[in-house]
Amino acid sequence: MEDQDGGTRNPIDWAKKLLTLGVGAIFLTEESIRGFAQDFKLPKEVLSAILENAGKLRSDFIQNFSSELMSKVSGRFDPHLFMGEFFRKNEVTLEIKIKVKETPKQPVD
């Protein structure tokens, strides 16, 4: 079954696209989400709501993932102990070069 634009109206294909859009909202770019949403011919208001929710979902996911990762890592890894041992075993040299050059004076008219 095809619609006027040559796209399929198969409910299974639509379900796959919706699942991809929902799960992929975390990882898809805005352009990819727009491309998927165009297949459904959604109104602009719905599309902007989807994009806004995708951005919020992505932000929440990254925040939760990073805090969960840090809690797991910090439970097994003491950064203070590691840095102390690192500096005891290694020689660290820090070089900073700063160059200040006066700009040529502009003639005043």
pLDDT tens by residue, 79-95 = 888 889 999 999 999 89
Q: Output the pLDDT for position 1.
A: 42
- In angstroms, the CA 62 to CA 50 distance is 18
Residue type, 32: S
0.85 cut: is pTM over it?
A: no
Helix axes 30-39, 44-76, angle to 10 degrees: 140
